């Protein structure tokens, strides 16, 4: 009887409290976020949609992220401002494309020869201090830097063959701002257009080619239908991209949803590692549409040497930029000393 009385006065009350709390949680209106990616729908199906689908399923009604593709809500160049104002809640992009007003913007996307392989990016961010620098810079402007990850390398996909540096002269190329700034010294004419317009621009002759991705992406988004050649030399081994959120909206989330978002986005980074990597090899060897061309190593060495000069120019612009460049230099020096498979050729 004593045990039964104790249950009635304690256990029953606890059970009742639990029962009363459940309907409030289940019946509440879910938190809704709008996230826009830099990627169009065909590419977004691989680089972001699986992660958003997983998050929404696991959140089980507590929160839902609505996914929008390139330029659907705002132009890509306005992504940062729209997120900062809270017009959209979160963004998947590189710093460069979304015109971020930070000291690290120039390193987003393809910073020339900062990496040679996709695994370089998570190592640099998680082990070499880039996460801390990005967190500092974005916290200053009211944006949460959630995480960074690697995409594919930066190659040229062109209508005419590129077999030497001279073949780059006068080529009108869709590329990223910093990559375009670097490549212009070799005669490349950088062109900025909405992502969804690129295929037609190549068809009409407005563009001679694209230096925006590796071969996996060229096939996935349809650019292999309008270009004929793929240059095997690249100016970067991996695109650096991120997930960001409006800081106020991030701070409003309960901890479990913050952690769930971080886990789902990390899984997205991992998925891209193998999706891109496998595709790069398979489509070079089995892809039916593009003929491979190569600029000889001795000639391409001029581009690699120019990149180090470019690094020093960027480092001279600010203390923060100098910190990032020093990390890139130290990391690449270590990889070269480590030898194969880290650095070779």
| Residues 273 and 118 sit within 8 Å (Cβ to Cβ) | yes
Torsion from C-alpha of 289, 294, 295, 300, nearest 10 degrees? 110
Q: What share of the chain is helix, strand, coil (3-state, %, to 5)?
A: 55, 15, 30
When pLDDT is cut at 50, 70 and 90, the band that residue 344 belongs to is: low
Residue 71: the pLDDT is 94
CB hemisphere CA count around 185 (13 angstroms)? 13
Beta strands in the chain, from DSSP E residues, in sequence order: 31-37, 63-68, 90-93, 143-150, 155-158, 172-175, 189-191, 209-213, 229-231, 240-246, 291-293
DSSP state of 30: P
Q: How many residues does the chain have?
A: 345
| Same CATH fold assignment for domains 31-151+238-280 and 155-236+289-338 | yes
Looking at the predicted structure, is the pLDDT value of residue 10 above 80? Answer: no
- Angle, to 10 degrees, between the axis of helix 120-127 and the axis of helix 130-139? 70
* CATH 3.40.190.170 is right for the domain spanning 31-151+238-280: yes
C-alpha span between 44 and 300 (Å, rounded): 32
Domain ranges of the chain: 31-151+238-280, 155-236+289-338
Residue 27: the pLDDT is 53
- In this predicted model, what pLDDT tens digit does every residue of 291-333 receive, in sequence order? 999 999 999 999 999 999 999 999 999 999 999 999 999 999 9
Helices (H), 144-295: 177-183, 198-204, 215-220, 247-252, 255-286
Looking at the predicted structure, is the pLDDT value of residue 21 above 80? Answer: no
Mean pLDDT of 272-283: 96
| Residues 88 and 34 sit within 8 Å (Cβ to Cβ) | yes
Provide CATH code, domain 155-236+289-338. 3.40.190.170
Q: Residue 137: helix, strand or coil by DSSP?
A: helix
Distances (CA, A) of 170 to 207, 210, 301: 11, 13, 21
Average pLDDT over all residues of the chain: 92
- In this predicted model, what pLDDT tens digit does every residue of 52-86 receive, in sequence order? 999 999 999 999 999 999 999 999 999 999 999 99
C-alpha span between 197 and 177 (Å, rounded): 17
| Residues 91 and 77 sit within 8 Å (Cβ to Cβ) | no
| Residues 37 and 44 sit within 8 Å (Cβ to Cβ) | yes
Taking the alpha carbons at both ends of the chain, their separation in whole angstroms is: 82
C-alpha span between 11 and 8 (Å, rounded): 6
325 class by beta-carbon count within 10 Å (0-12 exposed, 13-18 middle, 19+ buried)? buried
- In this predicted model, what pLDDT tens digit does every residue of 163-220 receive, in sequence order? 999 999 999 999 999 999 999 999 999 999 988 899 999 999 999 999 999 999 999 9
Residue 19: the pLDDT is 34
Helices (H), 140-229: 177-183, 198-204, 215-220
- In this predicted model, what pLDDT tens digit does every residue of 137-164 receive, in sequence order? 999 999 999 999 999 999 999 999 999 9
Residue 130: the pLDDT is 98
| Residues 216 and 280 sit within 8 Å (Cβ to Cβ) | yes
């Amino acid at each position: 009887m004593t045990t039964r009385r104790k249950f009635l006065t304690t256990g029953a009350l606890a059970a009742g409290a639990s029962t009363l709390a459940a309907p409030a949680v289940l019946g509440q209106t879910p938190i809704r976020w709008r996230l826009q990616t830099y990627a169009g729908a065909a590419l977004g199906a691989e680089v972001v949609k699986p992660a958003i689908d997983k998050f929404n399923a696991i959140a089980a009604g507590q929160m839902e992220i609505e996914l929008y593709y390139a330029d659907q809500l705002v132009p890509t160049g306005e992504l940062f401002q729209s997120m900062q104002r809270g017009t959209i809640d979160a963004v998947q992009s590189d710093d460069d494309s979304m015109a971020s007003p930070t000291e690290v913007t120039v390193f987003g996307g393809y910073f020339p020869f900062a990496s040679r392989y996709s695994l370089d990016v998570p190592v640099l961010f998680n082990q070499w201090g880039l996460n801390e620098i990005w967190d500092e810079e974005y916290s200053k402007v009211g944006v949460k830097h959630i995480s960074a990850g690697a995409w594919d390398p930066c190659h040229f996909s062109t209508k005419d063959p590129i077999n030497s540096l001279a073949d780059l002269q006068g080529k009108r190329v869709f590329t990223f701002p910093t990559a375009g700034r670097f490549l212009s010294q070799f005669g490349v004419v950088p062109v900025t257009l909405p992502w969804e317009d690129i295929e037609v621009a190549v068809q009409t002759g407005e563009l001679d080619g694209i230096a925006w991705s590796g071969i996996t992406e060229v096939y996935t988004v349809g650019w292999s239908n309008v270009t004929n050649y793929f240059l095997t030399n690249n100016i970067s081994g991996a695109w650096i991209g991120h997930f960001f959120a409006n800081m106020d909206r991030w701070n409003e989330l309960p901890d479990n949803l913050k952690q769930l978002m971080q886990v789902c986005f990390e899984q997205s980074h991992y998925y891209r590692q193998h999706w891109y990597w496998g595709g790069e090899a398979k489509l070079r060897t089995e892809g039916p549409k593009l003929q491979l061309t190569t600029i000889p190593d001795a000639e391409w060495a001029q581009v690699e040497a120019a990149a180090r000069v470019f690094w020093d120019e960027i480092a001279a612009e600010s203390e923060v930029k100098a910190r990032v460049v020093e990390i890139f230099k130290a990391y690449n020096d270590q990889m070269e000393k480590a030898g194969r498979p880290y650095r070779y050729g």
